Amino acid sequence: MKLHLLAAGLLLCTGHASAAEQVERSEILTMGAKAGFQEARYADDGSIKVHYEFNDRGRGPKMDAEYRVGADGSVARIANTGIDYFKGPVDETFSRDGSKVSWKNSAEDASQELTKPSFYLSLNGTPEEFVLLTRALLKSDSKSLDILPAGSARVEKLSELKVKGKPGAKKVTLYAIHGLDTTPSYLWLDEQQRFFASYSSWQSVVRDGYADALSGLGKVQDAQEKQQAEQRATSLTEILAKPLLIRNVRTFDPASGTITTDAAVLIDKGRIVAAGKAADVGAPAGADTMDGGGRFLMPGLWDMHAHFFGQADGVLDIAGGVTTIRDLANNPPVLAERIKSIEANKDIGPRIIKAGIIDGPGPFAGPTKALADNEADAQRIVDEYAASGHEQIKIYSSIKPELMPAIARMAHAKGLRVSGHVPAFMTARQFVDNGADEIQHINMLMLNFLFDKVQDTRSPARFTAIGEYGAGIDLGSPQVLEFVQHLKQKDIVVDPTVSTFEDMFLGRPKLPGPGWAAILDRLPLTWQRGIKSGAGGLPIKPGQEAAYRDGYQRMIDYVGLLYRSGVRIVSGTDGSGGLQLARELELYVAAGIPPKDVLRIATYDSAAVMKRDKEYGRIAPGYVADLILVDGDPTLNMADIRKVRTVIRGDRRYDSAKLFTAIGIKPSP
């Protein structure tokens, strides 16, 4: 979960149009492919005009903004118009008159008197604003500023580097901006404090002519991030060097659904040695003891739809009780390095199962280099994934329908599972009949019955079609019931990710989706502002609000139908499991699934899908000691699953509250 301002990347590159105007242009690179650009025009009178756009599978912003900057680096005026990531309208203004500031956007209309230097960040701003903020911070005596409407930021100079490019050699400086996110945000500036680059393994932005310098910048920045991660791991991880007896707990075994009161569990060398009634579980001499305080002890949770990108992702997962994730699309060498660091205790994070994405080339291609237009390309990609320890192939939306069966055959021949989005111009039934083992996202199953309305699902039409027509799908119709039985007979697994659609379908300006209510006040202030705005919602035409709400409810109801029909479900978020998985599980309960079964889905059943149910997902002798201690009883109230107090990941123990606090999130009450 990144601020829109940061997730988009930070831009700019320098050129000269005339003596009176300086034009700075940059390109946005997603996995090395051009995705968009930003152009900033600096005039001598202090005004800056910015055009910003990028394409992400048919989504992406397109905005024009004008800024006026004072001598102290503060912004005196902003006017920003265009469309946001989901193509919703943007019309935002900010102005300062002496000590009075006023701003207005789709969710806010406010003004206040300033008592000290501050910097306003737009709700839907261009990346150039982050550059302006950095310069303002550098001009500040304390190198820090209050952020309007809420929060604060601080800049830190980290390191310098000489780079070469077609325009010549430059000395660039890496800065870290603290306070806007759970971990620092990074920016490279040149000698004139002009933008040079923003680097990440997924999306980078770099000055024209210097793309070859990104790898060198990345090494320096990665070293900084690894140092911070290792410091966190050292201070927040307790290695269980001796046997540990956990006593005075209520244990829950998902496979059987049984709860044992007055229980104890003995673990040693990362595995469960004994479990049962406290009177029946002893400990060897010299063992450590942990009093569970009568709390609820259960296996660690699984997030079966994750993308492990951010530096805080691992801390968030463990803090929220997620001890295993399945990564469904990433930058393979970067992910491999992060797994290596976690397993060596140089970082904090869950166990990670790798699934590799494959897509077809084109304007809606996913952000990956694994693009196949023919069987030879597909075979090469499948072979590479199999050789690098991936266990699954995730087919994406732009794959040619006629190529999909061949990919399934290739993957199965290598022992890999096959899942994915249903490719465009293909139905869900065709997808499973041609070799898929699993389908990601419940909307893809809904679209099986809307093929007369939408066939090209590469764009946001795969979402908006549900809002416009989804409520009209009769889940009790013979067509739907027959299809669901077909899924059961073929043992198809469904990864619904209903929580990822909640804000998308229900969020409105000034009214965020209801899933945020339980955690909103725990989040960084800058996050709270974005969430409260309701800016994560799809653009909905007037009068369609009820249809979108009913379409979303139909997706939840569909999950309940799948469960009652015996179709296997796995728990995935397509987001931050440590914050979002609890909501996913709550929505399963809302779909009519009993809480005990929901907890089984999120532990033992997910392990079984990945062929790990003999070692993970139970509290039983011989099983890996991935355990969470919960204050409450989620078999009665699923909301209690947020009250994780202690997490044990094999031979490592963590205090959930300390983990959350370390990344600027308030612990669960």
Domain boundaries, the chain: 4-235, 450-456+465-593
pLDDT for res 14 = 34
Average pLDDT over residues 491-504: 97
* Helical H segments across 290-348, by residue range: 313-319, 332-343
10 exposure class (CB count in 10 Å sphere: 0-12, 13-18, 19+): buried
Q: Given a cut of 70, is residue 15 above it in pLDDT?
A: no
Q: Of all residues in the chain, what percent carry a pLDDT higher than 70?
A: 97
DSSP string of 595-631?
Answer: HHHHHHIIIIIHHHHTT-TTTSSS-STTSB-EEEEES
pLDDT for res 25 = 86
Whole-angstrom distance, CA of residue 638 vs CA of residue 448: 31
Q: Which residues pair with residue 371 across a beta bridge?
A: 359
Average pLDDT over residues 220-241: 96
Contact status, residue 444 vs residue 413, Cβ threshold 8 Å: no
| pLDDT per residue as tens digits for the range 425-464 | 999 999 999 999 999 999 999 999 999 999 999 989 999 9
| pLDDT per residue as tens digits for the range 131-174 | 999 999 999 999 999 999 989 999 999 999 999 998 999 999 99
| pLDDT per residue as tens digits for the range 608-623 | 999 999 999 999 999 9
Whole-angstrom distance, CA of residue 384 vs CA of residue 661: 39
Query: What residues contact residue 618 under an 8 Å CB cut-off, 6+ apart?
Result: 253, 254, 255, 299, 603, 604
Sheet containing 351-358, strands listed edge to edge, beginning at the edge strand earlier in sequence? 301-306, 322-327, 351-358, 392-395, 417-420
Contact status, residue 262 vs residue 268, Cβ threshold 8 Å: no
Strands (E), 278-350: 288-291, 296-299, 301-306, 322-327
Least confident range of 6-20, 247-261, 398-412? 6-20
Backbone angles phi, psi at 409, to 5 degrees: -65, -45
Token pair of 548 as six digits: 């979108």
Q: Which amino acid is at 590?
A: A
Q: How many CB atoms lie within 10 A of CB 286?
A: 7
Q: Given a cut of 70, is residue 17 above it in pLDDT?
A: no
Backbone angles phi, psi at 561, to 5 degrees: -60, -40
Whole-angstrom distance, CA of residue 46 vs CA of residue 69: 6
Give how far Cα 595 sits from Cα of 627, 631, 636, Å.
18, 16, 7
Q: Given a cut of 90, is residue 194 above it in pLDDT?
A: no
Q: Which phi-psi region, left, alpha or beta, contains residue 316 (left: φ > 0; alpha: ψ -120 to 50)?
A: alpha
Whole-angstrom distance, CA of residue 431 vs CA of residue 422: 6
Token pair of 228 as six digits: 């911070």
CA 535, distance to chain mean position in Å, is: 17
Whole-angstrom distance, CA of residue 583 vs CA of residue 585: 5
Whole-angstrom distance, CA of residue 439 vs CA of residue 447: 12
| pLDDT per residue as tens digits for the range 507-532 | 888 888 999 999 999 999 888 988 88
pLDDT for res 20 = 64
pLDDT for res 249 = 98
The residue among 545, 536, 544 whose CA lies nearest residue 516 is 536
Tokens 């207005």 belong to residue: 104
Give how far Cα 626 sits from Cα of 233, 302, 322, 616, Å.
18, 10, 9, 8
Give how far Cα 350 sits from Cα of 188, 255, 313, 322, 506, Å.
31, 22, 9, 7, 31
Token pair of 659 as six digits: 């983990």
Whole-angstrom distance, CA of residue 292 vs CA of residue 275: 14
SS3 of 63-83: EEEEEEECCCCCEEEEEEEEE
pLDDT for res 159 = 94
Token pair of 660 as six digits: 């959350």
Whole-angstrom distance, CA of residue 488 vs CA of residue 350: 30
DSSP letter (8 states) at residue 668: P
Token pair of 577 as six digits: 């499991």
Q: Do strands 351-358 and 392-395 pair parallel, antiparallel, or not at all (unpaired)?
A: parallel
Average pLDDT over residues 567-592: 97
Q: Over the chain, what is the mean pLDDT?
A: 93
Q: Given a cut of 90, is residue 113 above it in pLDDT?
A: yes
Tokens 């800058």 belong to residue: 526
Least confident range of 81-90, 314-323, 419-428? 81-90
Whole-angstrom distance, CA of residue 440 vs CA of residue 495: 5
Whole-angstrom distance, CA of residue 647 vs CA of residue 310: 21
Whole-angstrom distance, CA of residue 573 vs CA of residue 424: 22
Q: Given a cut of 50, is residue 41 above it in pLDDT?
A: yes
Token pair of 402 as six digits: 């006629």
pLDDT for res 456 = 95
Query: What residues contact residue 235 under an 8 Å CB cut-off, 6+ apart?
Result: none
Q: What is the pTM of this model?
A: 0.92
The residue among 664, 505, 535, 575 whose CA lies nearest residue 122 is 535
Q: Given a cut of 70, is residue 120 above it in pLDDT?
A: yes
Whole-angstrom distance, CA of residue 63 vs CA of residue 9: 15
| pLDDT per residue as tens digits for the range 316-352 | 999 999 999 999 999 999 999 999 999 999 999 999 9
Contact status, residue 236 vs residue 662, Cβ threshold 8 Å: yes
How would residue 18 be classed by pLDDT, with cut points 50, 70 and 90?
A: very low
Q: Which residues pair with residue 495 across a beta bridge?
A: 440
DSSP string of 136-196?
Answer: HHHHSTTSEEEEESS-EEEEEEEEEEEEEETTEEEEEEEEEEESSSSS-EEEEE-TTS-EE
